[in-house]
Amino acid sequence: MDNAKPKKVIAPRTEMPCQPAAVRARNFKEVALGYTPEMAIAEAKRCLQCKKPGCMKGCPVEIHIPEFIAAVTQGDFDAAYRIIKGTNPLPAVSGRVCPQENQCEGKCILLAKGQPIAIGRLERFVADQHIAGTACEEVSGSSTCTMAPLCDDGNKVACLGSGPATLSCAGYLAANGIKVDVFEALHEAGGVLIYGIPAFRLPKDVVKKEIDAMRQLGVSFKTNWVGGRTVQVSSLLEQGYKAVFIGVGAGLPLFLNVPGENLIGVFSANEYLTRVNLGRAHSFPAGSDTPVYPGKHVTVFGAGNVAMDAARTAMRMGAESVHIVYRRTRAEMPARREEIEHAEEEGIQFEMLAAPLHFNGDANSVLESVTLQRMELGEPDASGRRRPQPVEGAVYDLPTDLAIIALGTRSNPILLDATPELDKNKRGYIVADEETGETSIPNVFAGGDIVTGAATVILAMGAGRRAAKEICKRIKG
């Protein structure tokens, strides 16, 4: 008699409802509509509850993934929320924008069948479903924050920048009763979550909710303060701050360095997206004073998430055609698969195996077209990827009246030049201890893109949390 336990039948992955492509391509409402409770429970029940879960190893903030998924299967979304918030301060954000396919879902045992558990979608569902009763619960998932009388003991911490690394750091410290002042260069807090990621991927009210909760815990957000200009690291320490956390990101754009790049109509993705997102140019002139350069035939250079964001934003701003030019093939594109698929569905055209030679303008130096060189893949380079090589004689023009350069970023030198005591690596980023985030200046910490170079939101959050734990230990013992 065969007493073998029957194998669990795994249902197909639960798809995420989305706005129809033809509709969403012309509005800035969120593309993904989110799971219903029934969908979330069905997806959670697919989880095998592995004894040695690989998904946790792939999570930079070490969420107890099997535990929160188990709570979802029981319909206990409040318990799931508390489990996630135990290590992740921004699940509504990370559930929307993190590259789960390369992290937690990339380690799921069901990936072998092409159907990993939709961990990011479940994380987003839990965060959206749960309504925190207090600011403390919103920040930490617990109603038992220390909430010591702010500033009474003189313990306070300064943070430069207000992106995901700082929000993670400030939230942890505030939940433990430590006063935090955040100094932000722009006129609105949130960093890349506000100026870089479009509302159709990350609604701004999601970020605002997290920031408002921190304000209720006593975190002060001081906008229009530029690190290295209107505020200095040394002066903050002199003013009595027990520690300084630097989370200013890496916001200096890279360019192509080809002829014609200074023509009217050529922009960095940083400027273009900042105008639309932070400046709300998508509602100009009725709801915003910030205009954006109009483009009917738009070409975006690059193939990461920022390139997808720029291309999809241009389509929503009224472009008749949008091309993404990339010198390799689709297989090498670094953007999230979901973002690539959404872009295709919305009518974005991919110009693969092509590289720009020069931009062409009219008599008034206004962009009219870009000349492209057809490429082919040769032998692998030092990164292991096959190196693009020009195809002799294969040159052609692409009509373009708006070009957006999305090749990545590097560290902005303003703060670093003003703080020569900070050790930097050969790429110009701050050197910080991997475990604590402390820099070469005692009690000055750093995390996020200013340390690693352009990376993911969740990695920045993890760095902010590690630094906050060390700061908290030093201040509170």
Q: What's 419's domain CATH number? A: 3.50.50.60
- Residue 261, domain extent: 253-405
| Same domain for 208 and 347 | no
16 within a domain of the structure (yes/no):
no
Kindly state the tokens that stand for 54. 């690989």
343 within a domain of the structure (yes/no):
yes
| Same domain for 235 and 100 | no
| Same domain for 342 and 294 | yes
76 within a domain of the structure (yes/no):
yes
422 within a domain of the structure (yes/no):
yes
| Same domain for 260 and 188 | no
> Inter-axis angle of helices 65-73 and 37-44, to 10 degrees?
130
2 within a domain of the structure (yes/no):
no
Q: CA dist 209 to 29, 162, 467, Å?
A: 17, 14, 23
125 within a domain of the structure (yes/no):
yes
Cα atoms in the 13 Å half-sphere on the side-chain side of 280:
11
| Cβ pair 444, 438 in contact under 8 A | yes
| Same domain for 261 and 212 | no
Digit-by-digit pLDDT tens for the chain (477 residues) are: 556 666 667 889 999 999 999 999 999 999 999 999 999 999 999 999 999 899 999 898 889 999 999 999 999 999 999 999 988 889 999 999 998 988 999 999 999 888 999 999 999 999 999 876 777 777 777 766 764 444 446 789 999 999 999 999 999 999 889 999 999 999 999 999 999 999 999 999 999 999 999 999 899 999 999 999 999 999 999 999 999 999 999 989 999 999 999 999 999 999 999 999 999 999 898 888 899 999 999 999 999 999 999 999 999 999 999 999 999 999 999 999 999 999 999 999 999 999 999 999 999 999 999 999 999 999 888 878 889 999 999 999 999 999 999 999 999 899 999 999 999 999 999 999 999 999 999 999 999 999 999 888 999 999 999 999 999 999 987
Q: What is the DSSP letter of 365?
A: S
The residue from 388, 405, 422 where one domain ends is 405
| Cβ pair 344, 241 in contact under 8 A | no
Q: Which of 74, 89, 81, 86 is nearest to 37 (CA)?
A: 74
| Same domain for 303 and 360 | yes
| Same domain for 150 and 122 | no
Q: What is the DSSP letter of 345?
A: H
9 within a domain of the structure (yes/no):
no
Kindly state the tokens that stand for 285. 């002139």
| Same domain for 275 and 218 | no
Number of folded domains in the chain?
3
| Same domain for 282 and 191 | no
8 within a domain of the structure (yes/no):
no
| Same domain for 154 and 119 | no
| Same domain for 425 and 291 | no
Q: What is the CATH number of the domain that holds 34?
A: 1.10.1060.10
pTM: 0.92
| Same domain for 316 and 190 | no
